Amino acid sequence: MSDRSQLISTGEPFQFDKERDAEFERLVKRYPTRESMILPALWLTQEQEGWISQEAIAYIADRIGTFASKVYEAATFYTMYNLHPMGKHHICVCRTLSCWLRGKQEIIDYMRDELGLTPGKKTEDGKFSLEEVECLGHCGTAPVVQVDGEFHENMDVEKFKSLLATLK
């Protein structure tokens, strides 16, 4: 997992749109404490904007009434939360033990050499973005790559090349 602590500031105040606002209020009633809303509120933000900005984290913390540091913790812990604008296709490569032992690094190196793409970044044309993530739960078929939420198992560089070719 790359360092995700550098949040991006939009310089604009963030707030939920009408629909998410209503959804937040609907969900908050479900939980015994408001802090339970940290993860759902981050999802709502990502749904709305595609990614989560520094302003959005501050907004969520204030809206829930918790410490901004707690929301910051959760947002940086889970790699499923995007902390910067994504490319058209978002690629996640698992870096946990099985995938590492079974050659995830070759796939990462391939992207670095061929596309100039490193974890936490996106390509200049905005087509691809890459994140190295912790265990995706498919250790038996490692290494595993997730493209736009879809799993591709038993990957190697050749398979990955042909996978990329199918992405427009």
138 binds another protein (CB under 8 A): no
Looking at 68, 139, 163, 164, which residue binds another protein (CB under 8 A)? 68
Nearer to another protein, 5 or 162 (CB): 5
80 binds another protein (CB under 8 A): no
Q: Please, where are the H alpha helices in 78-139?
A: 97-101, 104-115
DSSP-assigned beta bridge partners for residue 146 = 92, 151
Q: In angstroms, give the least distance from the CB of 163 to another protein.
A: 26
Looking at 41, 42, 56, 57, which residue binds another protein (CB under 8 A)? 57
**Residue 117 corresponds to which tokens in the numbers above?**
């793409």
76 binds another protein (CB under 8 A): yes
Q: What sign does the dihedral 6-9-15-17 (CA atoms) show? A: negative
C-beta of residue 73 within 8 angstroms of C-beta of residue 32: no
Does 139 count as an annotated binding residue? yes
Return the SS3 of 77: helix
81 binds another protein (CB under 8 A): no
CA-CA distance, 49 to 79, in Å (whole number)?
16
Helices H / strands E in the chain, number of each: 7, 4
Interface residues with another protein (CB under 8 A) are 1-5, 7, 9, 54, 57-58, 61, 66-73, 76-77, 134
Binding residues are 94, 99, 135, 139
Binding residues for [2Fe-2S] cluster are 94, 99, 135, 139
